[in-house]
Every structure is written in C-alpha cells, then in structure tokens.
Homo-oligomer: A and B are copies of this chain.
Amino acid sequence: MDKDFKATIEALIFAADAPLSVEKIARILEVDSELVQNAVDELSADYKPRGMNLFELAGGYQFLTARRFYPMVLKMKDTDRSLSLSQAAFETLAIVAYRQPLTSQEISAMRGVQSVSNILRKLQELELIRIAGRKDVIGRPMLYRTTPKFLELFGLNSLGDLPSLEEIGVNES
C-alpha cells in the first residue's frame, strides 16, 4: 500500500473533531471506500502497540489514548491542575477583587441574580476569597475579601496592581 495514502488518512483522522467514517474519508480523497477501509485496517493494526490506538466508534474511526497508559496520563493531568472557573464564578471573583470588602447581597445585585452563595462557597473552597468581618448594618451580613493566595495565583503583588478599567479603555461611570 502507498505509504502516503495511509499517512493522509492518518492525518485526517487525527485532525477530525469526531470519529471519521470511511465513506467521508473516501469522499475527501476521491477514492474508493474499499481502499480506505484497507488502509484503516492496516493503521489500526500498526497502532496496536503504541501510545494511542485507533478506535472504531459511532460509525467512524478516532485516535484515542491507549487504555493501558491511562494511569500515567492521569498523573500528568493531575499535575496540570488546570481547573478553570465558570464564567459566573470568574465574574463573581472579579467583583470581589475590585469592590472588596462587600456582602453577598451586594454581589448578587451587581450580577443581577438572586443568589451567589454557591459560587461564594466554591471560591472559598478554592481559597480565592474569605470572610473578612461583618458589615455594620441590620442583619450584620458577612463581608468578603480576596485572599493572599488569590494575589499569588494571579501574579499580583498587591490589590493595587489590578489593572484599572481605564487601562483597558473602559469608562467606570
């Protein structure tokens, strides 16, 4: 079999967003499906001992990490620690960062939502914000502030290092 033909198919399957069917590959390459099927079968065998395998899924083919290397991949992903915050959580964190100290009611009002208590709890668990006293009004609601860890994670020396709205070309009022 032509090596480049196989390599082209390899490239297509690798770059596809979802499992790629033999028919679709045949259409792209303008060749016979049978030819593609043979190449895919060969590829599948070639990849058996490797780090990724060719899986037949949902009527198509897709490269996935070989199962036996999952423990190592997990170890890698753990060291990544790249958990991202939801939009809502990021927005809440931004409000606390810029307006601290403030109460959860004040945050809710700024975000135009009923409650932010779940998000605040999550941000507290991540040690990004903390309770910093109570406001001297009826009900004495708790006040929130960012933590030193917040500064550290965002690479800031102090809250004074937060970019101002003017600096990004937005008017405050």
Residues of A within 8 A of B (CB): 3, 6-17, 20, 24, 27-29, 49-52, 63, 65-66, 69, 72-73, 75-77, 79-80, 82, 115, 117-118, 121, 131-134, 140, 142, 155, 160-161, 163, 167-169
15 A-B pairs besides A7-B50, A132-B155 with CB distance below 8 A are: A6-B51, A7-B69, A10-B52, A11-B69, A11-B72, A14-B63, A15-B76, A16-B76, A17-B80, A28-B72, A28-B75, A28-B76, A29-B72, A117-B168, A121-B169
Copies per complex? Answer: 2
Cβ-closest 9 pairs across A and B: A10-B51, A11-B51, A11-B69, A7-B51, A11-B65, A117-B169, A15-B73, A15-B65, A14-B52
